[in-house]
Structure 1
Amino acid sequence: MMNIILHGCNGKMGKTLQRIIAQDPDLTVSAGIDSFIGEEPVPFKFYMSSVDCDAKGDVVIDFSHHEAIEDLLRFCVNSKLPVVIATTALSDEDLEKISKASEEIPVFRSANMSLGINVLSKLIKAAVPVLEDDFNIEIIEKHHCKKIDSPSGTALLLAAAINEATEEKKEYIYGRHSKDDNCKLSEIGIHAVRGGSIPGEHTVIFAGPDEVIELTHTVYSKEVFARGALKAAKFIVTKGNGLYSMEDMV
């Protein structure tokens, strides 16, 4: 039995995780942490902050808010708990704190917990060296109207995958509203769409002379991310201290 502490238990992803965990006899939620109380009481110990949490567990899964990351890392390090970090909109300073914490505990971090997105990342890395000399590369991401961060962490993950595979790093251009924009090969255009209840769609466009290649990943349910996070949790509890990603697991 793996005992999970859910950080962000009352959010949409937290509730999705609760539902999936309840269906698995080998998993249980030992405690939940969130800055707000949900409409319905939860069937486990609940804390308003990781600072107050004294619950025992085998791993923490974090789908919360980037402002809570410092307290969460302190709690995990003090408790010697592995942690899966799925929260997005993290700053460079946040990433540095995560890296430092990974020296003392196992940390799994990904901007997207979908296995499919991480396969897409590998496909991109294979395509870029062949196409980069003649093809413009643009990324379009679509999400629901309540998503706060823009561009998405996944769009930045895909942009980083492109730059990992290029001979020369490309500049990120967020939107193309300038009238004198001539769309250089040295750029990656990143565009965000927000509306309705779109769970998530990412398209990487390779546009060359007289031909276009589009690689698209579409999510139809938040369960994709929840199942990926649980796979990551099962993976990380077997590892030693260090920083792990979907590439290590896939």
Structure 2
Amino acid sequence: MSTPLKIAVHGAAGRMGRRVVALASEDSALELVAAMENDQHPLLGQDAGDLAGVDTLDIALSSKWPNDADVVIDFSLPEAIDRCIEKCVLHETALVVATTGMTDAQVERLNEASESIPIVWAPSMSLAVNLSMKLAQQITEKLLDVPGGLDIEIIERHHRYKADAPSGTALKFGDLIAEKLGDDTKHVHGREGHTGQRTRNEIGYHAVRVGDNPGEHTIVFGMLGERIELNVAASSRDCYAAGALAAAKWLSDKPEGMYDMFDVLEM
């Protein structure tokens, strides 16, 4: 039997971190070796398994960084990502980043870190979302020259607690679609007042925040006389946790570099 992959979860007390801990505890190919939070977190010292609603794992929530992890999975906040990057580089630990809302400077630090460690970074760890992104690109490419023109709008729905808008996933959809539309694509966020006629080279974004929605994205491809709506929706957060764990397994034997979920899915 092969040795289990040792993983650590950064942001382990959050909604997503707890689900990563829970699913990892059920996977014999994985061994949870650390569950990390910031040094002021009120739940420090509590067992990660108890927090995740599974059996006690004898892994205390801690601000200390492990030195024996093979891969760190980060589901934290932008204000915590700098320390995570620094520690992973210091310990030469592979890193899966699912945190969204990072600044340009943080993205640059992440890219610099990928020169010394392997990193998977994606705005969504969902396998279905990433497959849908490829479909969105293919649809755009095939309809570029459709008679009457093509209009593309992105509608995303998330829970009331989400702090950034539009979602990182919606922005990624837009960036991938824009690659097919061309360099003059405009990204328009919401509409209000007398905006005038819709231009032909724009992508519209609309963010909805309701209840406990774990994430839903609808890409509307509008033409004269017909439309396509590509919808991908999560029914629970487990799809993101499962995707992050799949990324960790895939990343474990990769050389330094920046990867994404398309690489994980070999698309």
TM-score between the two structures when normalised by the length of structure 1: 0.95
Q: Look up the match of 2:144.
A: 132
Q: Which residue of 69, 73, 83 corresponds with 1:57?
A: 69
Local SS of the residue matching 1:163: helix
- In 2, are the aligned partners of 1:31 and 1:55 still within 8 Å (CA)? no
| Alpha-carbon distance, 1:215 to partner | 0.4
* Residue deviations 1:129-152 (CA, integer Å, cap 9, x gap): 232341110000001111111100
| Alpha-carbon distance, 1:54 to partner | 4.1
- In 1, are the aligned partners of 2:72 and 2:95 still within 8 Å (CA)? yes
| Alpha-carbon distance, 1:91 to partner | 1.7
Local SS of the residue matching 1:178: coil
In the alignment, structure 1 residue 212 sits paired with structure 2 residue 234: no
Q: Which residue of 192, 204, 219 corresponds with 2:207?
A: 192
Q: Look up the match of 2:54.
A: none
| Alpha-carbon distance, 1:61 to partner | 0.2
What amino acid is the match of 1:220?
S
Q: Look up the match of 1:9.
A: 12
Distance, in Å, in 2 between the alignment partners of 1:196 and 1:125 is 30
Q: Which residue of 119, 140, 146 corresponds with 1:107?
A: 119
1:157-236 equivalent positions in 2, closer than 5 A: 157-236=172-251
Q: Look up the match of 2:110.
A: 98
Q: Look up the match of 2:43.
A: 38
* Number of residue equivalences: 247
What amino acid is the match of 1:161?
L
Q: Look up the match of 1:150.
A: 165
What amino acid is the match of 1:201?
E
RMSD: 1.4
Q: Which residue of 78, 86, 92 corresponds with 2:90?
A: 78
Runs of 4+ with deviation above 6 angstroms: none
| Alpha-carbon distance, 1:45 to partner | 4.2
Distance, in Å, in 2 between the alignment partners of 1:91 and 1:99 is 13
Q: Which residue of 12, 21, 29 corresponds with 1:26?
A: 29
Local SS of the residue matching 2:100: coil
- In 2, are the aligned partners of 1:199 and 1:222 still within 8 Å (CA)? yes
TM-score between the two structures when normalised by the length of structure 2: 0.89
Show structure 1 runs of 5+ residues with no match.
none
